[in-house]
Amino acid sequence: MTSKQPKYEYVSSARLPTRHGEFRIHGFVEASGQEHVALSYGKWEKGDTVPIRIHSECLTGDALFSTRCDCGFQLEKALQNIVERGQGVLLYLRQEGRGIGLLNKIRAYNLQDSGMDTVEANEHLGFDADLRSYDICKLMLDTLDVTQVELMTNNPKKLAALESLGVNVVARKPIDHGITADNKHYLKTKTEKLGHVFDPHLFK
Ligand SMILES: Nc1nc2c(ncn2[C@@H]2O[C@H](COP(=O)(O)OP(=O)(O)OP(=O)(O)O)[C@@H](O)[C@H]2O)c(=O)[nH]1
Ligand SMILES: [Zn+2]
């Protein structure tokens, strides 16, 4: 008899001192081998509302200081917010390039340099505009005893995904940091074509 392999598994946790404060890092793995992490800060009781950020991997923005997108700015701001609030969780999902992967994102950037927008570039490469899944967030939050959240995002799809997984989202906190001349057009496209919510005056 074969037992069904779980889709996602919790693996291990450790202390993670950072420039922003001391977090704990928690590792998770998908059956495919894809690895993800959650960072937690502070303490809470089960049922408390916990501030969280769900962040999809962006190597260029998160680690290489790119200003083509807002990712690096948002990541840093989210960690700062969590430390200021005294508690919170970052779910760092390894779905680079809205799920198309790093090298395809570079191909998409090249197409955007010749005039396509971020959605047209994905489609030109044969991908949907957004291939991400948030299913693993449920295991990550359950593991950390988080059932009710305040979500830092401009992306209503993340709210809907959490609600459909049975996580109670009591509020959305906009995270509109890092709008630069290099990414204004990209963020405007996300607002017009992908449903992101940005205050229009931020693009002026
Ligand atoms: N395919 C593609 N992906 C991109 C591009 N620019 C950034 N990304 C990816 O977009 C994703 C952005 O992730 P998030 O910041 O978590 O999500 P979001 O949909 O912007 O929502 P919020 O930031 O929460 O408002 C990352 O995986 C980036 O690698 C691009 O031009 N093309
Ligand atoms: Zn990015």
Indicate the DSSP class of residue 108.
H
Half-sphere exposure (Cβ direction) of 11: Cα atoms closer than 13 Å? 16
pLDDT 10s digits, 43-69: 999 999 999 999 999 999 999 999 999
Do 161 and 91 share a structural domain?
yes
Number of domains in the chain: 2
State whether 30 and 124 are in the same domain.
no
Q: Is residue 171 part of a domain?
A: yes
In the chain, what is the greatest distance between 2 CA atoms, to the nearest angstrom?
Answer: 63
- Which residue out of 24, 94, 107, 132 is catalytically annotated? 132
Indicate if 90 and 105 belong to the same structural domain.
Answer: no
| Residue 29 covered by a domain | yes
> Is there a domain that residue 162 lies in?
yes
Q: Is 13 among the domain residues?
A: yes
Is residue 202 domain-resident? no
Indicate whether 37 pLDDT > 70: yes
Could you tell me which residues are beta bridge partners of residue 64?
none
Residue 100 has what pLDDT?
98
Q: What is the CATH number of the domain that holds 170?
A: 3.40.50.10990
Which of 115, 131, 147 finishes a domain? 131
- How far is residue 14's CA from residue 183's CA, in Å, rounded to a whole number? 35
Rounded Cα distance between 200 and 11, Å, is 42
Same domain flag for 127 and 139: no
Shortest-distance ligand to the CA of residue 67: 2
Residue 97 CB–ligand 1 contact under 6 Å: yes
Ligand 2 centre distance from Cα of residue 32 (Å): 24
| 91 lies in the same domain as 46 | yes
Contact between 55 and 78 (Cβ < 8 Å):
yes
**Ligand 1: nearest atom to the Cα of 59:** 29
Q: Answer yes or no: is 198 within a domain.
A: no
Question: From the CA of 126, how far away is ligand 2's center (Å)?
Answer: 20
Ligand 1: does its nearest atom lie under 6 Å from the Cβ of 81?
no
Does residue 87 sit in the same domain as residue 173?
A: yes
CB-neighbour burial class of residue 76 (10 A; exposed 0-12, middle 13-18, buried 19+): middle
Q: Are residues 51 and 73 in the same domain?
A: yes
Q: Assess if residue 201 is contained within a domain.
A: no
**Is residue 15 located within the same domain as residue 105?**
no
**How many whole angstroms separate alpha carbon 74 and alpha carbon 55?**
9
Same domain? For 21 and 115 the reply is no
- Does the predicted TM-score (pTM) go above 0.90? yes
Span 86-141, pLDDT tens digits: 999 999 999 999 999 999 999 999 999 999 999 999 999 999 999 999 999 999 99
**Segment 146-196, tens digit of pLDDT:** 999 999 999 999 999 999 999 999 999 999 878 888 888 888 888 888 888
- Structural domain span for residue 86: 8-95+132-193
Distance (Å, rounded) from C-alpha 196 to C-alpha 35? Answer: 27
142 belongs to the catalytic site: no
69 alpha carbon, distance to own chain's centre: 13
Q: Is 15 a catalytic residue?
A: no
What's the pLDDT band for 25 if we cut at 50, 70, 90? very high
Domain shared by 76 and 160, yes or no: yes
Do both 103 and 183 map to the same domain?
Answer: no
* 121/23 same-domain check: no
Write the ipTM: 0.98
Atom of ligand 1 nearest to the CA of 118: 31
Q: Which of 107, 131, 155 is the last residue of a domain?
A: 131
Q: Residue 4: pLDDT above 80? A: no
